Structure 1
Amino acid sequence: MKVLVTGCAGFIGMHVAQQLLARGDTVVGIDNLNDYYDPALKDARLALLQPQAGFRFQRLDIADRPAMEAFFAKESFDRVVHLAAQAGVRYSIQNPHAYADSNLIGFVNVLEGCRQNQVQHLVYASSSSIYGSNTKMPFSESDPIAHPVSLYGATKKANELMAHAYSHLYGLPTTGLRFFTVYGPWGRPDMAYFLFVKAILEGRPIDVFNEGRMQRDFTYIDDITEGIVRVLDKPASANPHFDPALPDPSSSYAPYRLYNIGNHQPVELLEFISIIEKRLGKRAVLKLLPMKSGDVVATFASTEQLQKEINFSPATPLEKGIHQFVDWFVRYHAHESA
């Protein structure tokens, strides 16, 4: 297939592009290479992709409507994996317009590109952040969601609603994937685990919010990638059992689906830090702080639906995943400073 991967210089985008290329798909990647975090890391990810046969890259901002229209019309994609977005919960508190531009306007441009050019399936990144202040655990795709606690989470929920409208109006198959705290090699430098490893190695204190009494459903990048590719291969279809009197938010009478992708094993932040300490052979200096605005105490994914419909459930043990990340981090920064 010919697949568009938006955000291909990002953490998840690079891994997805690699897996699609490895199985023989043609991949066209786009990214605006912004400076939300160090562009050198994005360049290094791209450097892994660009020598591979079947891969092409174009620098492009998804919020640029005329450029996106011309790009889609020229390329004729079979399927689209949309991962480009303005990420980060805390950043959205200070920079709301960046989220409106990328996550709302940019998403409409992707939807329109798919509609106008007969794309067979759009798979897009949603987030566990859409569960907001929900406290019923584990989080299920069938749960009602009406109380986001960050603008980032609100934009991701808006994406799901926008996708449904296109599935209903135009018959465009769309599948949204709610990712739960993705970690692993080539990860984002603004994520807590990346900051923890860097600070511990440098002997600096690490900020631990809510005094460490937080739980996250940490999900290894290989599991996320596998889930995305498997879902891409199964275009969303109408749910023949959908009951409009008791509507299930995760499916529809239209070709529309939502899935959680999480490790379904929440871990306390202090335990997570302890595993990092053991791998590094070095103790962390903890700076215990109160809860930050926009954060939630716990995330916990139900993956029953993913298992039932896609026959997949993330299962990489946390120790294995952290070891892989720490080892990559040490190698990458040793290469950087060489």
Structure 2
Amino acid sequence: MAVLITGGLGHVGSWVATLLARQGKKVIICDMAAPHVDRMGLDYLEEVRDNVHFEAVDVLDTHTLFETFLRYRDELEGVIHGVSVIAGPSFQTRPFKHLSINAMGTLNVYETCRLLGIDKVVNMSSGAVYGDAAGPQVETMPYKATDLYGATKISGELYGDQYTATYGMDIRQARLFFVYGPGKRPSHMHAVYQAMFGPLEGLRDVHPDNGRDQTTDWTHVEDTARGILALFDADSVPHRHYNISCGVPIAHQDIVDSVTELLGHDSGMRLGPGPFVVRGSPLDITRARTDLGFEPRFTDIREGLEDYHRWLKKNA
């Protein structure tokens, strides 16, 4: 059997694809970056290339999306949808484009699966659906959008719930949170991420305007991918929505200090006052532990940072 992943060359998606391919499954990656995969430096994905097939597909191109899914339909056990513009300072600069990718792109995937009889879908949603509600945040809490990104994730979940209820599909929502780790270079990220994780890559003297006064739930990318696969692999689930994170809050300044301790020198990183984005923390992962047997490995941020540092040095 095969699994199709939209956004399979993204940070989380590439790890989901790698773990599936390591299981011996055929993986179809649908991603606009597919023609450039050889230049992306995803060494872990290179190790399983024999089990991976690439398709350059835009989730807003309904016809190409349908034709691609149709080509693989008879061998698919399901779809994992990961295409998304991430939350950050640039999201609101192109609101219609980003809202369309996140909301309409998700709806296109659901509708294509419905038409082709592909019932099983895991959607990569977000803890942003809780907005700024105080943590620990549990899946039974009401939706609260505090930014445009959060609104797109809420819409994707509502579409999925209604497709499940109306058409008998099996659409599951993995609520992810802040992710770090191998596969993403800090130099390619926003300034707050660079200030926290950038010294692991050799960056120095990054001074973002905000981010210091925030405690949130940072999850190693491999733990995030493992949680998504636990949700996908379950024969049946008693709920539609699952928090997937490490479940441990950590202050942004503590991450800066931990990186300094790991490297043994100060890299001149200074976070400005206030939060980066308005979010509560942490996500409560009791439901994922109970129903899926999910147990994150990197609950100590220092162990995750060491792993991230090893990858960055290896791929310098």
Q: Distance in 1 between matches of 2:94 and 2:199?
A: 26
Q: Distance in 2 between matches of 1:153 and 1:236?
A: 27
- The CA deviation at 1:180 is 1.7
SS at match of 2:96: helix
| 1:235-314 alignment, distance < 5 Å | 235-237=235-237, 239=238, 251=239, 257-291=240-274, 295-296=277-278, 298-314=280-296
For residues 144-193 of structure 1, give each alpha carbon's deviation from its aligned partner in whole angstroms, at most 9, with x where no partner exists.
113x1211111011100000110011111011111121111112632544
From the superposition, tell whether residues 4 and 42 of structure 1 become closer, same or farther in structure 2 (CA, over 3 Å).
Answer: farther
Equivalent position amino acid for 1:310 in 2 = L
Q: Distance in 1 between matches of 2:101 and 2:128?
A: 17
From the superposition, tell whether residues 235 and 114 of structure 1 become closer, same or farther in structure 2 (CA, over 3 Å).
Answer: farther
From the superposition, tell whether residues 155 and 196 of structure 1 become closer, same or farther in structure 2 (CA, over 3 Å).
Answer: same
| Residue of 36, 57, 63 corresponding to 1:66 | 63
2:149 matched to which residue of 1?
Answer: 152
Q: Distance in 2 between matches of 1:197 and 1:263?
A: 18
From the superposition, tell whether residues 182 and 41 of structure 1 become closer, same or farther in structure 2 (CA, over 3 Å).
Answer: farther
| 1:82-161 alignment, distance < 5 Å | 82-135=81-134, 137-146=135-144, 148-161=145-158
Partners of 2:253 and 2:271 within 8 A in 1: no
Equivalenced residues, count: 308
Q: Distance in 2 between matches of 1:19 and 1:58?
A: 19
Partners of 2:131 and 2:280 within 8 A in 1: no
Gap runs ≥5 in structure 2: none
Equivalent position amino acid for 2:118 in 1 = V
1:226 matched to which residue of 2?
Answer: 226
Partners of 1:197 and 1:326 within 8 A in 2: no
- The CA deviation at 1:46 is 8.1
- The CA deviation at 1:26 is 0.8
Q: Distance in 2 between matches of 1:105 and 1:15?
A: 24
Partners of 2:136 and 2:282 within 8 A in 1: yes
- The CA deviation at 1:50 is 8.3
SS at match of 2:138: coil
Equivalent position amino acid for 2:264 in 1 = G
SS at match of 1:17: helix
- The CA deviation at 1:93 is 1.7
SS at match of 1:209: coil
| 1:203-218 alignment, distance < 5 Å | 203-207=204-208, 209-210=210-211, 212-218=212-218
SS at match of 2:242: strand
- The CA deviation at 1:71 is 1.2
Partners of 1:208 and 1:287 within 8 A in 2: no
Equivalent position amino acid for 1:280 in 2 = L
Q: Distance in 1 between matches of 2:279 and 2:50?
A: 44
SS at match of 1:53: helix
Q: Distance in 2 between matches of 1:57 and 1:106?
A: 19
Partners of 1:175 and 1:236 within 8 A in 2: no
1:14 matched to which residue of 2?
Answer: 14
Q: Distance in 2 between matches of 1:47 and 1:315?
A: 18
2:78 matched to which residue of 1?
Answer: 79
Q: Distance in 1 between matches of 2:55 and 2:304?
A: 31
Identity %: 24
1:330 matched to which residue of 2?
Answer: 313
1:45 matched to 2:42? The reply is: yes
- The CA deviation at 1:194 is 4.3
For residues 214-237 of structure 1, give each alpha carbon's deviation from its aligned partner in whole angstroms, at most 9, with x where no partner exists.
101111122111111111112555
Q: Distance in 2 between matches of 1:288 and 1:278?
A: 17
Gap runs ≥5 in structure 1: 240-250, 252-256, 334-338
- The CA deviation at 1:310 is 0.7
Partners of 2:196 and 2:269 within 8 A in 1: no
From the superposition, tell whether residues 235 and 101 of structure 1 become closer, same or farther in structure 2 (CA, over 3 Å).
Answer: farther
Partners of 1:215 and 1:266 within 8 A in 2: yes
Partners of 1:50 and 1:56 within 8 A in 2: no
